[in-house]
Chain A
Amino acid sequence: MSRLRRNLAPYLLVLPGGLWLLLFFAVPMITMLSLSLQQGDIVNGYAFTGHWQTYVDAIGNYRTQLFRSLLYGAIATIALIVLAFPVAYWIAFYGGRRKATYLFLLLLPFFVSFVLRTISWRQILTDEGPVLGPLKDIGLLGDSFHVLGTPFAVIAGLVYNFLPFMVLPVYVALERIDPRVIEAARDLYADPATAFRKVILPLALPGVFAGVLMTFVPASSDYVNSAVLGSSSTTMIGQVIQAQYLATADYPTASALSFVLMAVLLIGVFTYARALGTEDVMKVAAR
Chain B
Amino acid sequence: MSDTPAIEFVGVHKEFQSHGETVHAVRTLDLAIGQGEFFSLLGPSGCGKTTTMRMIAGFEDPSAGTVFLDGKDVTGVAPNKRDVNMVFQSYALFPHMSVFQNVSFGLERRKVAKAEITRRVGEIIEIVSLTGMEKRAPREMSGGQQQRVALARALVNRPRALLLDEPLGALDLKLRQQMQVELKRIQREVGITFVYVTHDQGEALTMSDRIAVMQGGRIDQLGTPREIYEKPATRFVAGFIGTSNLLEGEVRSIDDGIATLSSAPGDCVLVPVPGSVAVGDKLEISVRPEKIELERGTEAPSDCSVVAGTVSEVVYHGTSTNYAVTTAAGPEFTVFDQNAANADDLAVRGDKVFLYWNAQHSYPIGV
- Within residues 174 to 188 of chain A, which ones have a CB less than 8 A from any CB in chain B? 178, 180-181, 183-188
Residues of B within 8 A of A180 (CB): 88-90, 92
Distance in angstroms between the alpha carbons of A283 and B96 in the assembled complex: 8
CB atoms of A184 and B86 under 8 A apart: yes
Distance in angstroms between the alpha carbons of A199 and B153 in the assembled complex: 15
Contact with A along B74-116 (1 / 0, CB 8 A): 0000111100111011101111100000000110011000000
Decide yes or no whether B157 CB sits under 8 A from chain A.
yes
CB atoms of B105 and A203 under 8 A apart: no
Decide yes or no whether B57 CB sits under 8 A from chain A.
yes
CB atoms of B78 and A186 under 8 A apart: yes
Among A188, A194, A202, A203, point to the contact of B153 (Cβ < 8 A): A188
Distance in angstroms between the alpha carbons of A178 and B91 in the assembled complex: 11
CB distance from A157 to the nearest CB of B (A): 36
Q: Which of A178, A184, A185, A198 has the most CB of B within 10 A?
A: A184
Decide yes or no whether B59 CB sits under 8 A from chain A.
yes
Residues of A within 8 A of B137 (CB): 283
Residue on B with the closest CB to A206? Answer: B96
Among A183, A191, A280, point to the contact of B92 (Cβ < 8 A): A183
Distance in angstroms between the alpha carbons of A260 and B319 in the assembled complex: 79
Distance in angstroms between the alpha carbons of A191 and B78 in the assembled complex: 8
Distance in angstroms between the alpha carbons of A191 and B110 in the assembled complex: 11
CB atoms of A188 and B157 under 8 A apart: yes
CB atoms of A186 and B95 under 8 A apart: no
Decide yes or no whether B184 CB sits under 8 A from chain A.
no
Residues of B within 8 A of A284 (CB): 95-96
Distance in angstroms between the alpha carbons of A139 and B84 in the assembled complex: 60
CB atoms of B80 and A187 under 8 A apart: yes
CB atoms of A184 and B80 under 8 A apart: no
Decide yes or no whether B349 CB sits under 8 A from chain A.
no
Known contacts A184-B92, A284-B96, A191 near B80 by CB under 8 Å:
yes
Residues of A within 8 A of B88 (CB): 180, 183-184
CB atoms of B96 and A188 under 8 A apart: no
CB distance from A175 to the nearest CB of B (A): 15
Residue on A with the closest CB to B89? Answer: A180
Q: How large is the interface on A (under 10, 10 to 19, 20 to 34, 35 or more residues)?
A: 20 to 34
Decide yes or no whether A119 CB sits under 8 A from chain B.
no
Contact with B along A177-218 (1 / 0, CB 8 A): 010110111111111001000110011000000000000000
CB atoms of A185 and B94 under 8 A apart: yes
CB atoms of B94 and A189 under 8 A apart: no
CB atoms of A181 and B79 under 8 A apart: no
Decide yes or no whether B282 CB sits under 8 A from chain A.
no
Decide yes or no whether A287 CB sits under 8 A from chain B.
yes
Distance in angstroms between the alpha carbons of A262 and B226 in the assembled complex: 76
Number of A-B contacts (CB under 8 A): 68
Distance in angstroms between the alpha carbons of A4 and B109 in the assembled complex: 61
Among B92, B106, B139, point to the contact of A189 (Cβ < 8 A): B106
Known contacts A194-B109, A287-B139, A186 near B92 by CB under 8 Å:
no
Residues of B within 8 A of A178 (CB): 90, 92
Residue on A with the closest CB to B84? Answer: A187
CB atoms of B85 and A188 under 8 A apart: yes
Residues of B within 8 A of A189 (CB): 80-81, 106, 109-110, 157
CB atoms of A190 and B95 under 8 A apart: no
Q: Which of A178, A181, A189, A284 has the most CB of B within 10 A?
A: A189
Residues of B within 8 A of A194 (CB): 109
Residues of B within 8 A of A203 (CB): 95-96
Residues of B within 8 A of A202 (CB): 96
Residues of B within 8 A of A181 (CB): 92-95
CB distance from B146 to the nearest CB of A (A): 12
Among B57, B90, B105, point to the contact of A185 (Cβ < 8 A): B105
Residue on A with the closest CB to B137? Answer: A283
Residues of A within 8 A of B92 (CB): 178, 180-181, 183-184
CB distance from B305 to the nearest CB of A (A): 50
Residues of A within 8 A of B157 (CB): 188-189
Contact with A along B294-308 (1 / 0, CB 8 A): 000000000000000
Known contacts A178-B90, A283-B137, A187 near B79 by CB under 8 Å:
yes
Distance in angstroms between the alpha carbons of A184 and B110 in the assembled complex: 15
Residue on A with the closest CB to B95? Answer: A287
Distance in angstroms between the alpha carbons of A203 and B92 in the assembled complex: 13
Contact with A along B227-265 (1 / 0, CB 8 A): 000000000000000000000000000000000000000
- Within residues 251 to 287 of chain A, which ones have a CB less than 8 A from any CB in chain B? 280, 283-284, 287
Residue on A with the closest CB to B88? Answer: A180
Q: Which of B58, B59, B88, B95 has the most CB of A within 10 A?
A: B95
Distance in angstroms between the alpha carbons of A186 and B106 in the assembled complex: 9
Residues of B within 8 A of A199 (CB): 94
CB atoms of A188 and B106 under 8 A apart: yes
Distance in angstroms between the alpha carbons of A280 and B95 in the assembled complex: 11
Distance in angstroms between the alpha carbons of A181 and B109 in the assembled complex: 16
CB distance from A27 to the nearest CB of B (A): 42
Distance in angstroms between the alpha carbons of A202 and B137 in the assembled complex: 15
Contact with A along B129-172 (1 / 0, CB 8 A): 00000000101000000000000011001000000000000000
CB distance from A276 to the nearest CB of B (A): 13
Distance in angstroms between the alpha carbons of A186 and B81 in the assembled complex: 9
Can you list 26 residue pairs at the A/B interface with Cβ under 8 Å? A178-B90, A178-B92, A180-B89, A184-B92, A184-B153, A185-B105, A186-B78, A187-B58, A187-B59, A187-B84, A187-B86, A188-B80, A188-B105, A188-B109, A188-B154, A188-B157, A189-B80, A189-B110, A189-B157, A190-B80, A190-B105, A199-B94, A203-B96, A283-B137, A284-B95, A287-B95
